[in-house]
């Protein structure tokens, strides 16, 4: 009897340990998931803070507000412009312009070598350089172009190095530099001939006298 009772006690303790281990591992899993979400949230905040401190990081330029005021912006403010995205008034837009005249998804844009391509979303009112943008068409905005979405007028300002209208001016070369280049090319052309002649060695003077004497004897 005591042995059977000890076995039951041991089995009960074993079941309690297994049950406790289950709850313990479940609790550890919940803690790991909770800490992971907390870490992702902190990283997202840190990234947004870094972008605010470096407004040109990951962006090609900015849209400067020329006229029109909203809930969180006024004339003179600017919106950073990424490589591509959506312009609208809702929070998920890449360029958010919170104004009553701006649709939730007002325009779509993407940056190419020739400029910022922009097209209206579902016929939303858009004007580029005072010209209305028809539905189904796209406009190419360059540095200094004006953009009107609803009642808000903006101006595109590209960052340094992306001003597509600027052309590099070549500096005129000096006359002395051109003369030096001509002399250098002439030297390169004559160099192979000089090297070929340098390989041929003239025979000594004594050898020439011997060959002359032999030719005379043969003639006699």
Task: Give the H/E segment covering residue 18.
Answer: helix 2-53
pLDDT band at 164; cut points 50, 70, 90: low
The CA-CA-CA angle for residues 92, 59, 44, to 5°, reads 50
Give pLDDT, residue 45.
Answer: 77
Write the DSSP symbol of residue 200: P
Q: Is the pTM of this model over 0.75?
A: no
Residue 99's alpha-carbon distances to 52, 125, 149, 157, 188, in angstroms, are 22, 13, 10, 21, 70
Determine the pLDDT at residue 199. 47
Q: How confident is the model over 56-94, as pLDDT tens digits?
A: 567 899 999 999 888 789 999 999 999 999 999 999 899
**Between 120 and 21, where is the model more confident?**
120
The confidence score (pLDDT) of residue 193 equals: 44
Q: Which residue has the higher pLDDT, 167 or 120?
A: 120
- In sign, the C-alpha dihedral spanning 168, 171, 172, 177 is negative
Confidence bin at 183 (pLDDT 50/70/90): low
What H or E segment, with its residue span, contains residue 24? helix 2-53
């Amino acid at each position: 009897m005591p042995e059977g009772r000890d076995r039951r006690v041991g089995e009960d303790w074993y079941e309690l340990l297994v049950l406790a281990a289950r709850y313990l591992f479940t609790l550890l899993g919940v803690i790991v998931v909770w800490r992971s979400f907390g870490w992702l949230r902190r990283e997202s905040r840190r990234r947004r803070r870094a972008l605010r401190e470096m407004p040109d990081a990951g962006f090609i330029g900015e849209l400067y507000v020329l006229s029109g005021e909203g809930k969180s912006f006024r004339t003179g403010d600017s919106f950073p412009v990424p490589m591509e995205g959506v312009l609208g008034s809702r929070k998920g837009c890449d360029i958010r312009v919170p104004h009553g005249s701006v649709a939730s998804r007002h325009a779509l844009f993407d940056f190419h070598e020739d400029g910022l391509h922009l097209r209206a979303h579902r016929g939303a009112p858009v004007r580029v350089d005072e010209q209305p943008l028809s539905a189904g068409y796209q406009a190419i905005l360059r540095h200094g172009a004006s953009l009107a979405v609803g009642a808000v007028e903006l101006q595109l300002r590209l960052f340094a190095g992306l001003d597509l209208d600027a052309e590099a001016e070549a500096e005129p070369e000096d006359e002395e530099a051109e003369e030096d280049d001509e002399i250098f090319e002439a030297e390169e052309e004559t160099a192979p001939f000089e090297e070929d002649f340098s390989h041929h060695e003239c025979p000594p003077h004594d050898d020439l006298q011997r060959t002359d004497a032999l030719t005379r004897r043969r003639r006699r």
